[in-house]
Structure 1
Amino acid sequence: MEFTLNQIAEMLNGRIEGDGSITVNRIDKIQEGKEGGISFLANEKYEPYIYETGATAVIVSQDFVAQKSVKTNLIRVKNAYTGFTQLLEAYALILKSYKTGVEQPSYFDESSSIGENHYRGAFSYVGRNCTIGNNVQIHPHAYLGDNVKIGDNCIIYAGSKIYKNTQIGNHCEIKSGAVIGSDGFGFAPQEDGTYKSIPQLGNVIIEDHVSIGANTTIDCATMGSTLIKKGVKIDNLVQIAHNVIIGENTVIASQTGISGSTEIGKNCVIAGQVGIVGHIKIADKTTIGAKTGVPKNITSSGQTIFGFLGMDIKNFLKSYSLFKKLPELQDRIKELEKKG
């Protein structure tokens, strides 16, 4: 599928430097660009490639200043990374084959309803009293329990399990193997040393424009709702416990675990293998580095937290620099003791 540079520039609200009538049919990395491909430059360390790339066109930011002659055509946009992301999104929509119709065998309870232009794959299951919107794709082996609600333009990928009473908004993606609404980890210790299971009676609510990664688990609330607010992006293999609240536009990387009843603010960035204890609050715009343990509330917005038993990253780096010097400091102490 081919597009002229003029068409792309119009879509990105950009400005052409070169021949706008030339067509491209492929997206390339700038260092691997060849004729017919379009690339982008957003990181200055890749700038040398723009002078030698074979790509037909490169998307650059408005303030890009070439240090020598550029042979390729340029499309200048406000922000090259954002512009290229828009192009990728549009390209993905073109490539994505939206299926419609119903494959058999599959099960759809007669008490449930589904909107227009839907797709239900083979061996999918939809339980009682479900309400499903327009343009929803339910792929093979996906399971929807009773009383599930799903908005418009959602994709439920193969093998996903959505337990009863879960509510999912519009424009959401639930990737393969994700489990939404399973019982929270609730057990009461008994006098004889055993544990008694606490019924988990709540549900999970997922708002609009949320992406849930493959094999991620989100537990239902003990009472009330586990809440994933709009715009949240969750990676693969993440565990979110009962009654957790994730604020708007927060992103969470793989292998993170969030314990029960914790509230995470909006626009937070949580890196991989982070462990967060239960019943705490994390302020808006907090960044938590990989493998950090978070044992208490983070009350100030905009902090970066790092380290086992997480602390402010500047304090952590100062402490770590001293830690590395401990053997040297120990030797000096021994020398001083001998002199004393």
Structure 2
Amino acid sequence: MTERRITTVLAALVPLLVLVLLGMFVTVPYVAVGPGDTADTLGEYDKKQVIKVEGLPVHHPAGQLRFTTIAVTDGLNLFSALGKWASGEQLAPRDAYYKPGATREEIEQGNREQFTGSESSATLAALRYLKVPTATGVSALVQGGPSDGKLRGSDVIQSVDGAPTTDAASVAKAMEGKKRGDTVTVGVLRPEGPAQVPVVLDEKDGKARLGIVVGQVPADPKVKVGFGVEKVGGPSAGLMLTLGIIDMVQPGDITGGKIVAGTGEIAADGAVGPIGGISHKLKGAKRDGASVFLVPSGNCQEAKTSPPDGLRLVKVENVDGAVKALDDVREGRPAPSC
């Protein structure tokens, strides 16, 4: 091979080598989105029971109530992005799923906080449906906050420094005039009886704080609802967690032995809100054997554009309507559909 020919070959290979290196090492500003895991709220996920109910009679219902997720793959290079696209996954701008400038740890923490809030709302929505009395209490603790290790989640708050408390506003009023370093005695009701718990206050945004989220908890401290899901983020499992609690406590089986999947953000009053990624969740549900999918009414338009064959789409607006719709499905009656 002549020197001129060698030079020509090298000149052709250099751009190809540059392209290969760019494809391997340059991260693209896109993520791949596809069907994620589904999990039966009546069973286990990642070897842990999804829902644990104490203080109320429970049974093991037939059938399944599966929450659905989406899988978001970040850190794609050009070649992996093209591979994901060729395999049928959706490519979307990274900013649509991750806050610009936030670290992965911050994003995961935010998603986890959303899921924790969803668990609290699911508990309240289920207790409301089951007509289990609630009271003002500790719905969540700030990790590392002044009450961490002192107060407990689901403590019923009866007083703050001797001032009776009946709601979040009265707790806030009892904290007026307090400052960092003050010791406040919180009167709580626990399964073993009343307790007086001293807490040394911290401060945030110029205000003294206990480091708790005040909300509604079961009025009977022996009643507890816990969750064993740790690797899922976001609020979209709320509806299915709510239905799981109801099905475990309420006699009978609301699924009629079917595999029912669904999604939807839940409010404490039982309202069901729309979520993202509905088309991917439908595919994941079908893949994992579901024959019925509960769709928030706000997602119906998108869901019905390309539903998987054999997956019945049932429209829901609130918890009461979802239970009624499942009753209709079980008994062979017409149910709201998308």
Q: TM-score, normalised by structure 2?
A: 0.27
| Larger helix share, 1 or 2 | 2
Which structure has more relative contact order (CA 8 Å, sep 6+)? It is 2
Q: TM-score, normalised by structure 1?
A: 0.27
